[in-house]
Amino acid sequence: MDRMADRNAASPSHGRLYPPIEPFDARMIDRGDGHRIYVEQCGNPQGRPVMVLHGGPGGGCSPMMRRFFDPGHWRIVLFDQRGCGRSQPHASVMANTTGHLLSDIDAIRAELRLPPAVLFGGSWGATLALAYAEARPDAVSALVLRGVFLGQQSELDWFYGGGAGRFWPELWQRFRDVIPEPERGDLVAAYHRRLFSGDPAIETRYAMPWLAWENALAGLDNGSPGHAPPAYARAFARLENHYFVHACFLDEGQLLRDRRRIEHLPAVIVQGRYDMVCPPLSAWTLAQGWARAELRMIPASGHALTEPRIAAELVRVMQAMAGLD
């Protein structure tokens, strides 16, 4: 669950984003099962590694995501998850599950010979960061999470069952009413039938309102669906819907159940107080009883990585980890 992130939000000295940088390495990793994963590295090749896990599922990485980190200190690793961004095949859900994504992270770490890394993820990226850390705690040095999504049914019910629609009824109506009334009892399933119809035109037609509903609610006081290329919308909607139909390929409550495996790790959780996509309850619940986790509730902020206060706080978190504060 995450919108496209491509506008400047936050100076290295005052919580603003670092200047744009280009990768010193970019490659495709062939996974041997029909998927090729795009991976790039930025910053200091000898620096402390940080892996950026994008949202969605299906959001892909953007150049803006490189800019939260001091490039003189961090070895910044970004990759597009299966089926999205520059990874191939585009919009594919073949061999695309949470387990496959965890295996891809293993493959990236092995190819790049990464020591234990900081995982930096928001929304679905936070879900994936938690899942990976709980599965491979020795491969992780710390977690920085934003807009926490735990992959639980109650979270999906909030966003796709009308909860968020109580705050944005006019936007909810646009999202809901493209589906015939008899099918509105399960909008995720109804959209699934159309996003996987086999006709790219139909899939794109229904991908646009799926993406628009999320984008419109991602920023505080936003209410605008924004604009996205049709190919991006189709990949985003298909992948996100595929994961949500399958309960994110996680057991219900799994990430909270297995938190004990990572409680020795330091974590900072940055959460928008008025996040309509991933309400603060999930972040608060995750932090309860985790002595090494610090929950930072950000006032007057929503969900998006581009929210000014959230972006500034994430820069400050990474500066502190780098010993720059």
Mean of the pLDDT values across residues 121-128?
A: 98
Asked about 92 being catalytic, the answer comes back as: no
Tokens 């490189």 appear where?
Answer: 66
Q: What does the pLDDT look like over 75-109, one tens digit per residue?
A: 999 999 999 999 999 999 999 999 999 999 999 99
Q: Is residue 14 packed enough to be buried (19+ CB in 10 Å), middle (13-18) or exposed (0-12)?
A: exposed
Whether CATH 3.40.50.1820 fits 25-152+249-321: yes
Q: What is the pTM of this model?
A: 0.94
Asked about 192 being catalytic, the answer comes back as: no
Question: Residue ranges per domain, the chain?
Answer: 25-152+249-321, 154-248
- Pairing status of strand 74-79 against strand 36-43: antiparallel
Q: Is residue 174 packed enough to be buried (19+ CB in 10 Å), middle (13-18) or exposed (0-12)?
A: middle
Identified catalytic residue from 35, 275, 282, 301: 275
Tokens 């800019």 appear where?
Answer: 67
- Helix, strand or coil, per DSSP, at residue 193: helix
Q: What does the pLDDT look like over 178-210, one tens digit per residue?
A: 999 999 999 999 999 999 999 999 999 999 999
Cα–Cα distance between 33 and 1 in angstroms, integer?
26
Q: What does the pLDDT look like over 224-242, one tens digit per residue?
A: 666 789 999 999 999 999 9
CB 9 within 8 A of CB 305: yes
Radius of gyration of the chain (CA): 18
pLDDT for residue 171 is more than 70: yes
Tokens 């670092």 appear where?
Answer: 18
Cα–Cα distance between 241 and 256 in angstroms, integer?
23
Res 4: pLDDT: 44
Say what percent of the chain tops pLDDT 90. 91
Asked about 303 being catalytic, the answer comes back as: yes
User: Which CA distances in Å does 195 have to 55, 188, 230, 253?
Assistant: 19, 10, 13, 27
CB 219 within 8 A of CB 307: yes
Arithmetic mean of pLDDT over the chain: 94
Q: What does the pLDDT look like over 251-298, one tens digit per residue?
A: 999 999 999 999 999 999 999 999 999 999 999 999 999 999 999 999
Identified catalytic residue from 123, 242, 282, 301: 123
